[in-house]
Chain A
Amino acid sequence: AQTVTQSQPEMSVQEAETVTLSCTYDTSESDYYLFWYKQPPSRQMILVIRQEAYKQQNATENRFSVNFQKAAKSFSLKISDSQLGDAAMYFCAYRRLYNFNKFYFGSGTKLNVKP
């Protein structure tokens, strides 16, 4: 079974600085998808970034980028130039290649952004 681990329950970052959120996963499959979702307080969950395991290039979306280390089964999220609006719960998620139905979520990391 796939498991996703986020070892940092809570983190803080100063506005305009960079922060990295960690995620590791366990799988025996060679191809799969990985995602980071953001859930601001009392607001809906939105997709931040996704990575296809068969692509070696790390995904980037504006200030958000990932460090995907397939051999180490690690998928960290880097947020550059942090903004107050980045404060949220961040969930790492795994999806099997051909099974679109089920996401395996990590326990989440609460990110605080200090002005």
Chain B
Amino acid sequence: DTEVTQTPKHLVMGMTNKKSLKCEQHMGHRAMYWYKQKAKKPPELMFVYSYEKLSINESVPSRFSPECPNSSLLNLHLHALQPEDSALYLCASSSAAGGPTDTQYFGPGTRLTVL
């Protein structure tokens, strides 16, 4: 059973559309992450929020815009995407305590297709 939820499961959008991906966790975690994953490849880190502040932006194009309204929610706003942005977008969360149990827990992902 997943404790990190993501909506929608699938999304098809045109290059001129604006859409948003949503992620939610109720584990009391204070760090949340967005990853992009292509087929048969490892996840690539995009953004990290720590205590609701953006702490890492891995040089992601501005057509991706993250938002962390509160410690449980993470959004990824999409605008003017390119077909090469089609991928599985994974959300993850972790406690941010920094110790050995500070493990990332992943959501099921949103499968994005850009036409």
A residues with CB within 8 A of B: 33, 35, 37, 43-47, 50, 52, 89, 91, 95, 98-103, 105-108, 110
- With A35-B103, A101-B55, A107-B41 as given contacts, are A45 and B50 in contact (CB-CB < 8 Å)? no
- With A50-B100, A100-B97, A100-B102 as given contacts, are A44 and B107 in contact (CB-CB < 8 Å)? yes
Chain B interface main SS type: loop
For A37, list chain B residues within 8 Å (CB).
Answer: 106
Q: Measured between alpha carbons, how far is A106 from B44 in the docked complex, in Å?
A: 11
B residues with CB within 8 A of A: 2, 4, 31, 33, 40-43, 45, 48, 50, 55-56, 90, 94-98, 100, 102-109
A sample of 20 inter-chain contacts (CB < 8 A) reads A44-B2, A44-B106, A45-B43, A45-B90, A47-B105, A52-B100, A89-B40, A91-B43, A95-B102, A100-B98, A101-B31, A101-B33, A102-B56, A103-B45, A103-B104, A105-B42, A105-B43, A107-B42, A108-B40, A108-B41
Chain A interface main SS type: strand
B109 — nearest CB in chain A belongs to which residue?
A44
Top 9 closest pairs, chain A to chain B, by CB: A105-B42, A44-B108, A45-B106, A100-B102, A100-B98, A101-B48, A52-B100, A44-B106, A91-B42
Q: Is the CB of A100 within 8 A of B94?
A: yes
Q: Is the CB of A101 within 8 A of B56?
A: yes
A-B contact count (CB 8 A): 53
For A50, list chain B residues within 8 Å (CB).
Answer: 100, 103
B50 — nearest CB in chain A belongs to which residue?
A101
Q: Closest CB of chain A to B85's CB: distance in Å?
A: 20
B43 — nearest CB in chain A belongs to which residue?
A105
